[in-house]
Structure 1
Amino acid sequence: APRGPRSDAARCRISARPGLLVPIRQPALLKGVAAVLLFGTVPACIRTIHFDSVALGIARLGLAALGMTLVLALAGNRPFGRGRDWSLATLTPLAAIGGVFGVHWLLFFLSIKLASASIGAIGFSTYGVQLALIGWAAGHPRPGWRTAVGVALAMVGSWCCLPAGETAAVGDRFGLGLLLGILCGTAYAVLPLLHQRYAEIDHNVRTWGQFTFGLCVFLACAPAARQWGRNLTDVWMLIHLGIVVTLVGHLLWVHATTELPIRITSVLAYLQLPAALAVNHFAIGEPMTVWMLAGAGCIVAANALALSGQTHQLTPAEVEELAGD
């Protein structure tokens, strides 16, 4: 006899709660995986492209801001439309979001250029632990013991990632690069709280403000820009970073976080660091030591512990910002 259509229950997977069925949509899951893989290519591209940190920020955010302007225009929501949509009450939150985002990117680029793609990615990946602590400081419920263990694991993991047996100059460079990466994670952890605070502003408008006002941070540093690329490969990498990753990657991630359960998207976000380390090793030949892998594992575990230890459920805005750059 012909088989009938599969029941809804057959299309579901069991979630962490016993007896609760949560549908997992395969297209949404594939979008999430594709976004994580795209984000994983970012540190290697930043490390190898012949743009300095400021020039790269200006070029990449210029493309992203232009792209979001076109997205808004096609949606009928012109960036410089009606005055009531662009009052000081709207522009101030957008400037705050963009300013924090610009600082986050500047620190991220400096970390990778100074140390290595892997060190920058590892330092940035501590944002999950910092999100729990900054959320507490911003008035969210007090973190539990899991967060405390997560903080300790993140500290141990960061220490493990520092190269042993190097010269003092190299050690200082890697140490400073790791510190910049951690501070970059601090700025990134603030972003979900800002997006949540100003959730009444349309998401696309907030994204446009994030890119446009983030660009202003780099334009303020423009006199320090010295290196603007050497060859056609740099142009293609810039297009990859500025359009494929920033626009397409984030669009895929937004679609995935909209349709998938929050716990699934959180797990996908934790995979960004292993993806980045794999790309760094196989694509640009960065060394990968056992200690560095152990440190990265500690940081992934720290993020999982810290975020699972929060007494409030992660909001969609927080999960949407779990992915990287």
Structure 2
Amino acid sequence: MSLKLRKRQWLGLLLIGVTFAVHWFLYFKSIKLSTPSIAAIAVSTYGIHVLFLSAVFLKQKITSTDLIATVFAFGGMLLVIPEFNWSSELFWGAIIGVASGFLYGVLPVLHQLNNSLSNTLRAWGQFTFAFVAFLPFGLQQQWALQSNDVLGLLFLGVVSTLFAHSMWIKATTELPGVITGITYYLYIPLAVLISFLSIDEPITGSMILGALIIIVANVVLVINKWQSRLKAKAK
């Protein structure tokens, strides 16, 4: 893996890493202010963000089906937010989760714009610059960790981040978007179920309905884009 890169390539890796770091920070903040389920559902709006970001930066066409799915996803998000109260932490947790989903949607666009670099190099660049971005905050903390805390941080850092995101970068690069896009949304019901079983988080009917609407809307977007690519190749 050669590190002899042009200035533009280094800047691309830096932008990927910083975007990844801010995405994770906002996601953790969303979980802290709201609940794991609300945060997971809010971040799932990333498919909508990818649609419009791809249209702007990758010149991909937006169809009427895309717009209809976007409207439904926005409606689903409104159902998920417990209350529209500016002083409510749950409300701001959901809003911050949507912002995290936006940055998560920026990541695949950045990876495609820098696809001249290998998957491995982009993955390590993403994690390295994200680590540098987090380092000043870590040095300011008064660390008093118990063994369970250390194990939890190791799991989050190695399994949930380094391993999982490295595989995700490879998958989104090499597999059809219809497969990776639909598979991604499986984490929402899993997050809701694990949250319910592990921390007794209350799950309301509106949350479930909102999550289903967002998932369906995003899956429609993925399938619609995949079919458009097939038609384009057939011409």
Sort the TM-score into its range (normalised by shorter chain): 0.7 to 0.9
Distance in 2 between residues matched to 1:193 and 1:307, nearest whole Å? 15
Distance in 2 between residues matched to 1:210 and 1:251, nearest whole Å? 10
Please state whether the residue corresponding to 1:309 is helix, strand or coil. Answer: helix
Distance in 2 between residues matched to 1:149 and 1:301, nearest whole Å? 12
Deviations 1:195-218 (A, max 9, x none): 111111121111111111112322
Q: TM-score, normalised by structure 1?
A: 0.64
User: Residue 182 in 1 paired to residue 98 in 2?
Assistant: yes
Partner of 2:184: 269
Partner of 2:134: 218
Partner of 2:195: 280
Q: Which structure dedicates a bigger proportion of its chain to helix?
A: 2
Deviations 1:286-314 (A, max 9, x none): 11111110111011012112233337549
Distance in 2 between residues matched to 1:140 and 1:308, nearest whole Å? 18
Is the 1:127–1:185 contact (alpha carbons within 8 Å) kept by the matching residues of 2?
A: yes
Please state whether the residue corresponding to 2:88 is helix, strand or coil. Answer: helix
Mark the runs of 5 or more structure 2 residues left unpaired by the alignment.
231-235
- How far off is 1:142 after superposition? 2.5
Deviations 1:78-126 (A, max 9, x none): xxx66xx144233111111111111111111111111111111111100
Is the 1:121–1:273 contact (alpha carbons within 8 Å) kept by the matching residues of 2?
A: yes
Distance in 1 between residues matched to 2:218 and 2:142, nearest whole Å? 35
Distance in 2 between residues matched to 1:258 and 1:161, nearest whole Å? 31
Mark the runs of 5 or more structure 1 residues left unpaired by the alignment.
1-76, 315-325
Distance in 1 between residues matched to 2:165 and 2:65, nearest whole Å? 29
User: Residue 92 in 1 paired to residue 11 in 2?
Assistant: yes
Partner of 1:130: 49
| Cα distance, 1:289–1:227 mapped onto 2, change above 3 Å | farther
Percentage of matched positions with identical amino acids: 34
- How far off is 1:262 after superposition? 4.0
Q: How many residues align?
A: 229
- How far off is 1:252 after superposition? 4.6
Distance in 2 between residues matched to 1:214 and 1:312, nearest whole Å? 35
Is the 1:281–1:288 contact (alpha carbons within 8 Å) kept by the matching residues of 2?
A: yes
Please state whether the residue corresponding to 2:129 is helix, strand or coil. Answer: helix
| Cα distance, 1:151–1:228 mapped onto 2, change above 3 Å | farther
Distance in 1 between residues matched to 2:148 and 2:205, nearest whole Å? 32
Partner of 2:61: 142
Is the 2:119–2:169 contact (alpha carbons within 8 Å) kept by the matching residues of 1?
A: no
**RMSD, aligned CA:** 2.6
Q: 1:244 aligns with which of 159, 171, 174?
A: 159
Partner of 1:103: 22
Distance in 2 between residues matched to 1:189 and 1:232, nearest whole Å? 35
Distance in 1 between residues matched to 2:115 and 2:172, nearest whole Å? 16
